[in-house]
Structures are given as structure tokens and as C-alpha cells.
Structure 1
Amino acid sequence: MTLVTLSDVLQPALKGHYAVAGLVTLGWEDMRAYVAAAEAENVPVILQAGPGCREHTPLPVLGKMFRHLAGNASVPVVAHLDHGYTSDECRQALDAGFTSIMFDGSRHPLQQNIDETAAIAEMAHAAGVSCEGEIGFVGYSGGEASAGTDPEEAEKFARETAVDAMAISVGNVHLQQDKQGGLDEPRIRVIEAVTTVPLVIHGGSGVPVEQRTALARGSSICKFNIGTELRMAFGQALREAVSSDPSRFDRNSILKDTHDPVVAATRQVLSAFKAN
């Protein structure tokens, strides 16, 4: 059994100068491919159930899927709730067997975010699992604009919430399909100078790979969330599988053809976060 908490994988990453990928899942096919890729690279992996995933599949089912994969994996696997917006949702994830919950109060005023995140972190720790919080809103490509993380607020947030990981807004954007952006490294340096908690980058698909590697090896950023680029790889593989034989209609047969391409794309992502 290799089911572990977020702290179990991020604290060694912080000390060992590497990062762990938080991979955004949508269904059985991609989460199975992510674990296969992690085993091939011999690295831990964080399986993440975000809002879109939870709309499609109930949390109790996702918890069992994650735990089944972890129980048969040769590498550490974290079962992580991504962007939980309410205490009830976070409690449901705990009851479903998740080993890490991320509460997103980043749209709220600072003190409300601190108070709500601290209460959820306390609930998580009482259950023996980890908690990630977010300070500074990370926006969406073509949608809501980001609000960058203030380093003084980050220090207060980390100290008063006792979170195990802290997501920050430093030029990262959700759902970005290219890698033309890049992160605000001076802001990252100020934040890591006043905090000791592992830092998290949401919207990691939009960050150039070279910068991901440099920050994984040379900063307190220990977790990069990656979703969009792997969903794009899955979509391309699925289109090719459907188009290759118009007479084929069995979805299990079609979806099977996505496995190897998604494993290959995921291995590229994971390899960039390794230590020197």
C-alpha cells in the first residue's frame, strides 16, 4: 500500500530540491496512465480531483478509485481534493478516504481566508491528512484575472493557518494552453524568504518547462499542478483513436488507445521535476 499524505511527499521534496506533480484527473483512463508514468519514472505522484472531475464522478467513487490505484502502485500516491470551496466538501473528501485536501478561499478577504483555511487544516490534521491553502487568487486563461500574492499576507497566512502547502499567485494562470507566460521569480524569492511551507503553483501547464525545472531544483516550490497539457495529449490520442477506424464503436477499445500516449506525455512532465 503506497497511499500517502501530501506532507509525506512534499517535505522530502523540499529537502531534496525537487518537485512533485499534482496531476489533474478527469477519469479512470488518465489517472491510471498517470500512475503508470510515475512508476516508470520512479517518482511519487499526486492524483487530484478538481471541480470538473467531481461534477462527473462523485467523491466517494473517486476516493475508491484513487485508493485502489495507490494500493497497487510501486510509488507513493496522494489522493488529493483540488479546489474544495466549502467545509462540507472538504469533509466529504475526508470521509471518502482522501489523504490531502486543498481548500480554496483565495477569493475571500484575507482574514476570512485565514480563518476558514485554519479550521479546515485543523479538521484535516485531526483526521491524519494534509491540507493545502491558497493565498492570492490564480486566474483563468480567457476568464477571471489573477490577483498576485502579497508576501506579507503570505507570511501571515502560512503562520496562522498551519497549512502543509501554500498555493501562490505569481504570474501563473489556470487553463493556459501555451507556455509563453513564465512566473514572477522575484516575487517568489520574497515569499520563500518569509515562509517555510512548501509552495505550490497552480496552472503549471502554462509555465515553460525550463523554468519549472529550475524552480523545482532551486526554490521552495515543491508542487506544480499540471492539467491542461495532459488533457490536450489525451484529447489528441482520443481523436486519433476514433478516426483510425470509423467502424469501431466499443468505447473500451477506443479509450485503450489513449493509454500509451498519455503515459508518454506524463513521463515528460514528471521527468522535469526530478532533482539533479
Structure 2
Amino acid sequence: MTLATLAEVLQPALKGNYAVAGLVTLGWEDMRAFVAAAEAEGCPVILQAGPSCRVHTPLPILGKMFRHLAETASVPVVAHLDHGYSVEECRAALDAGFTSLMYDGSRKPLAQNIDETAAIARLAHDAGISCEGEIGFVGYAEGESSAGTDAKEAAQFARETGVDAMAISVGNVHLQQDKQGGLDVARIAEIEALTDVPLVIHGGSGVPVSQRRALATGSKICKFNIGTELRMAFGDALRHAVNSDPGRFDRVAILKETHEPMVRAARTVLSAFGHHQKGA
């Protein structure tokens, strides 16, 4: 069994100068493909259940799916709650067998965010699992605007919450479909000068691959969340499978044809984070 906590995969990444991918899952087909891709690349993977995934499938089921995949995987697999918004939701994920809780208090005032995230971190650590928090606010493409992370606030947040990983807002945006943007390298340097906590980039799909690679191997960014570009790959594969035979109706046969394209897409993502270059 290779079920792992977030700290167990990010601390080696921090020391080894590489990053681990947090892959956003929506169902069995993509999470299965992500683990297969991680095994093919010989690297750890973080399976993430975000809000839309949890609306579709209950947390107890997701926990069993993640743990089942980890039990037979040859690489470390983290079962991660992405964007938990309440104590109740985080506790439910813990009870469901998740090994990492991300509490998102980023829309709240700094003091409240610190207090609430610290409480979730204590809950997680008492259970032997990990906690990620967010300081600053990462906005959404065609939605809420971002609020950049202040380096001194980030240092305070890391120190007072005890989180195992800290998500920051440095030009990244959720749900971005192109890679025309880029991260604020100067702001990242300011933040990492003041803390040793592994840093996390949400909205990683919008970051150019060359910058992902450079930051994974040359900064304290140890986790990139990737969702949109893999959802796009799944949509393309599903559309091709359906359109190739309009008379076909068996969804198992149709969904089976998404597996290999999703493994290829995920391997492309995973290969950019420096795991092999550092001999990890």
C-alpha cells in the first residue's frame, strides 16, 4: 500500500528540488488514468477531490476510490481534499480516509483565515495526516479577481497555522484554458525568503510549461494543481469516442477509450516537474 500524506511527498520534493502534481479528479476514469501515468513516470501523485467532484460523488465514496487505487499503486498516492470550506467538510474527508485536507479560508480576513486554518491543521495532525492552507486569493478565469499574496502575511500565516503546504496567489488563476500568462517570480522569491513551508500553485493549467519546470526545480514551489488542461483532454477523448460510432450507447465501452489518451496527457503534465532530473 502506498497511500501517503501530503507532507510525506512534499518534504522530499522540497529537499530534492522538484514538484509533485495535484491532479484534479472528477471520476473513476480520470483518477485511474492519473495513477497509471504516475506509475509510468515513477513519481508520486496527489489525487484531488474539489468542490465540483464532491457534488457529483459523496466524500465517503471518493475516499474509498482513492484508497483502493493507492493500495495497488507502486508509487505514493495522496488522497487530498481540495478547497474544503468548513470544519464539517474537512472532518468528513478525514473520516472518509483522506490523507490531506486543504482548508480554503482565502476569502476571509487574515486573522480569521489563520485561526480557522490552524484549527484544521491541528485536526489533521492529531489524526496523522496533512493540511494545506491558502493565503492571498487565487481568482477564477471570467470570475472573481485574484488578490496577490503579501510576503509578510504569508510568513505569518505559515508560522501561526502550522500548515504542511501553503497555496499562494502570484499571478495564477483557476480554470484558465490557455498558457499565455505567467507567474510573478519576484513575488515568489519574496515569499520563499521568509518561509520554508512548501509552496503550492493553484490554477497550474494556466502556467507555461517552461515556467512550471523552472519553478519546480528552482524554487520552493513543490506542488502544482492541474485540472483544466486534463479536463480538456478528457473532453476531447470522450468526444472522439462518441463521434467515432454514433450508434454506440454502452458507456463502459465509450469511457474505456478515454483511458490511454488520459494517461498520455497526465504523463506529459507529470514529466515537467523535475522528478527524474533530480534523481528522485
* TM-score, normalised with respect to structure 2: 0.98
The residue aligned with 1:42 is 42
Question: Which structure 2 residues correspond to residues 215-234 of structure 1 after superposition, within 5 A?
Answer: 215-234=215-234
Q: Which AA in structure 2 matches 1:212?
A: R
The residue aligned with 1:189 is 189
Question: Which structure 2 residues correspond to residues 12-161 of structure 1 after superposition, within 5 A?
Answer: 12-161=12-161
Q: Which AA in structure 1 matches 2:201?
A: I
CA distance in 1, matches of 2:196, 2:273: 20
CA distance in 2, matches of 1:125, 1:263: 33
TM-superposed CA distance for 1:255, in Å, is 0.2
Question: Structure 2 unaligned runs (5+)?
Answer: none
Q: Which AA in structure 1 matches 2:252?
A: N
Residue deviations 1:42-99, cap 9 Å, x none? Answer: 0000000000000000000000000000001000000000000000000000000000
The residue aligned with 1:264 is 264
Question: Structure 1 unaligned runs (5+)?
Answer: none
TM-superposed CA distance for 1:274, in Å, is 1.9
SS of 2:261's equivalent in the other structure is helix
CA distance in 2, matches of 1:165, 1:197: 6
State, as a whole percentage, how many aligned pairs show the same letter.
Answer: 79
CA distance in 1, matches of 2:176, 2:262: 19
Q: Which AA in structure 1 matches 2:42?
A: N
The residue aligned with 1:235 is 235
The residue aligned with 2:245 is 245
Q: Which AA in structure 2 matches 1:151?
A: A
SS of 2:273's equivalent in the other structure is coil
CA distance in 1, matches of 2:158, 2:76: 26
Residue deviations 1:88-144, cap 9 Å, x none? Answer: 000000000000000000000000000000000000000000000000000000000
CA distance in 2, matches of 1:71, 1:245: 36
CA distance in 2, matches of 1:119, 1:245: 53
CA distance in 1, matches of 2:14, 2:150: 22
The residue aligned with 2:162 is 162
CA distance in 1, matches of 2:103, 2:35: 24
CA distance in 2, matches of 1:69, 1:180: 34
The residue aligned with 2:200 is 200
CA distance in 1, matches of 2:48, 2:265: 17
The total of aligned residue pairs comes to 276
CA distance in 2, matches of 1:201, 1:86: 21
TM-superposed CA distance for 1:207, in Å, is 0.1
Q: Which AA in structure 2 matches 1:92?
A: A
CA distance in 2, matches of 1:170, 1:36: 31
CA distance in 1, matches of 2:120, 2:17: 28
CA distance in 1, matches of 2:79, 2:126: 17
Residue deviations 1:207-262, cap 9 Å, x none? Answer: 00000000000000000000000000000000000000011100000000000001
CA distance in 1, matches of 2:62, 2:262: 20
CA distance in 2, matches of 1:260, 1:217: 28
Once superposed, what is the RMSD of the aligned Cα atoms? Answer: 0.4
Runs of 4 or more off by more than 2 Å in structure 1?
none
Q: Which AA in structure 2 matches 1:83?
A: H
SS of 1:272's equivalent in the other structure is helix
Residue deviations 1:135-192, cap 9 Å, x none? Answer: 0000000000000000010000000000000000000000000000000000000000
CA distance in 2, matches of 1:246, 1:269: 31
The residue aligned with 1:8 is 8
CA distance in 2, matches of 1:246, 1:100: 42
Q: Which AA in structure 2 matches 1:167?
A: A
